[in-house]
């Protein structure tokens, strides 16, 4: 990876971290409602994988922990925050909320709230790509706990049966809501589970963005070459609870301290400093700049944007003026 790209990734990951931390504050301030699932600790997963993808053509789909993936895939952070603030200017016009970030013009195909729901949707997007004989692929990010849903097995089977161009990325943060993986899952190594469907797979350190990028590059080349699906398991950790309503009492503090020493942003920062490509001052300046941008652009935009008109509550239920509802053009 080029030095300039590493520096850019450091900035993007730090931006993602500060964005999510600001969401936490906004939730406490009651500017964000509903459920809020935050990403700090896992930034290298989304950034490493998507750095290796084709930004102009590939499709991305994920679960409800979706803000960072959307921003990395081109969504305007101001519009993502406006969505969390339930504003008409939000990416999903304030109808979706935190769990339903959509930015279809950038091929970010959504955040979905049912654990395991996107597995078949991703396979379907890949099926349509295959019908169009496209070179693009679909990348589906889900957590480890999603692999205990029936849709995991049903989708892996069909993805391999029809050799669909889909990359499944398992962000293994070791907990399904509040239950540790070895207490819910017979086979703890998730990458092994797809061998039952003859899908090639790899397990990688999800805290090291360069390693993630390398593993993803190999996986994406496989999928794009027409050889069918691939599965990557990234070992990672979320610093906060499952959602804001999670007191996070089920984890040992020692475990949390251990993972905080493997922070993906600090690891990349220190490597760049050690190699003489970055100074501590460069980093703190970057951080200050990001915090200013979030406060003065992102939050201001979200705060000042209008809410949806209540008279529009029945829009978007069905297609508007679809001629086939009347049996076509008479």
Partner 1 sequence: MGQGRGAVMAELMFWEAVRRAHDEELSNDPMVLVMGEDVGVVGGTYKATLGLYDKYGEDRVIDTPISENGFTGLGIGASFIGARPIIEIMSVNFAWLAMDQIFNTAAKVRYMSGGQLEAPVVIRSPGGTAHQLGSQHSARMEKVFMGIAGLRVVTPSNPRQAYGLLKSAVRCNDPVFINEHELMYNMKGEVPEEDYFHPLEGSEIVRPGRDVTLFGYNISVHWCLQAAELLSRHHGIEAEVIDLYALSPLDRSGIRDSVTRTHRAVIVEEAEPMVGVGAEVMAIINEECFYELDAAPVRVSALNVPIPYNHSLEKTALPDANDVVEAVRSMFGV
Q: Using CB under 8 A as the criterion, which residues of the chain lie in contact with partner 1 when the complex forms?
A: 59, 61, 90-96, 100, 102-105, 109-110, 112-114, 117, 119-132, 150-151, 154-155, 157-158, 161, 315-319, 322, 324-330
For 288, other C-beta atoms within 10 Å of its C-beta total 10
Residue burial 241-267, b: 16+ Cβ < 10 Å; e: rest: bbbbeeeeeebeeeeeeebeebbbbeb
For residues 169 and 49, is the Cβ–Cβ distance under 8 A? Answer: yes
Q: Which residues contact 40 (CB under 8 A, 6 or more apart)?
A: 17, 20, 21, 238, 239, 240
Return the number of the residue (140 or 268) whose C-beta is nearest partner 1. Answer: 140
Return the number of the residue (15 or 85) whose C-beta is nearest partner 1. Answer: 85
User: Smallest distance from the beta carbon of 177 to partner 1, in angstroms?
Assistant: 18
Return the number of the residue (2 or 105) whose C-beta is nearest partner 1. Answer: 105
Return the number of the residue (21 or 154) whose C-beta is nearest partner 1. Answer: 154
Return the number of the residue (276 or 327) whose C-beta is nearest partner 1. Answer: 327
User: Smallest distance from the beta carbon of 154 to partner 1, in angstroms?
Assistant: 3
Please name which of 223, 213, 228, 263 lies closest in space to residue 50, comparing C-alpha atoms: 213
User: Smallest distance from the beta carbon of 124 to partner 1, in angstroms?
Assistant: 2
In whole angstroms, give the CA distance from residue 179 to residue 165. 32
Return the number of the residue (123 or 232) whose C-beta is nearest partner 1. Answer: 123
**DSSP letters for 231-271:** EEEEE---SS-SSTT---TTS-HHHHHHHHTT-HHHHHHHH
User: Smallest distance from the beta carbon of 70 to partner 1, in angstroms?
Assistant: 12
User: Smallest distance from the beta carbon of 63 to partner 1, in angstroms?
Assistant: 13
For residues 156 and 130, is the Cβ–Cβ distance under 8 A? Answer: no
In whole angstroms, give the CA distance from residue 309 to residue 313. 7
In whole angstroms, give the CA distance from residue 185 to residue 153. 14
Return the number of the residue (21 or 134) whose C-beta is nearest partner 1. Answer: 134
In whole angstroms, give the CA distance from residue 156 to residue 158. 6
User: Smallest distance from the beta carbon of 38 to partner 1, in angstroms?
Assistant: 20
User: Smallest distance from the beta carbon of 317 to partner 1, in angstroms?
Assistant: 5
Give the pairing type, strands 59-62 and 108-111: parallel
């Amino acid at each position: 990876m080029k030095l300039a790209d590493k520096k850019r990734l450091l900035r993007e990951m730090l931006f993602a971290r500060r964005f999510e931390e600001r969401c936490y504050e906004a939730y406490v301030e009651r500017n964000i409602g509903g459920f809020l699932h935050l990403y700090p600790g896992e930034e290298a997963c989304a950034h490493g994988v998507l750095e290796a993808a084709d930004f102009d053509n590939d499709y991305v789909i994920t679960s409800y922990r979706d803000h960072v993936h959307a921003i990395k895939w081109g969504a305007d952070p101001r519009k993502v925050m406006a969505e969390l603030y339930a504003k008409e200017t939000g990416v999903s016009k304030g109808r979706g909320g935190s769990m339903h970030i959509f930015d279809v013009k950038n091929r970010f195909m959504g955040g979905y709230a049912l654990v395991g729901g996107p597995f078949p949707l991703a396979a379907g997007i890949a099926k349509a790509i295959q019908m169009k004989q496209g070179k693009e692929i679909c990348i589906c990010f889900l957590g480890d706990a999603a692999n205990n849903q029936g849709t995991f097995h049903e989708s892996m089977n069909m993805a391999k049966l029809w050799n669909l161009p889909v990359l499944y990325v398992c962000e293994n943060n070791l907990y399904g809501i509040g239950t540790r993986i070895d207490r819910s899952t017979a086979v703890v190594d998730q990458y092994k589970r797809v061998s039952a469907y003859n899908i090639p797979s790899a397990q990688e350190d999800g805290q090291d963005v360069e390693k993630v990028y390398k593993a993803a590059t190999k996986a994406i080349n496989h999928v794009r070459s027409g050889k069918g699906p691939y599965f990557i398991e990234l070992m990672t950790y979320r610093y906060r609870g499952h959602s804001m309503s999670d007191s996070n009492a089920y984890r040992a503090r020692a475990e949390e301290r251990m993972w905080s020493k493997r922070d993906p942003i600090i690891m990349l920062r220190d490597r760049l400093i050690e190699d003489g490509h970055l100074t501590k001052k460069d980093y703190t300046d970057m951080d200050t700049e990001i915090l200013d941008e979030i406060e003065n652009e992102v939050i201001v935009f979200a705060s000042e944007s209008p809410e949806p008109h209540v008279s529009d509550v029945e829009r978007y239920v069905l297609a508007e003026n679809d001629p086939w509802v009347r049996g076509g053009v008479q």
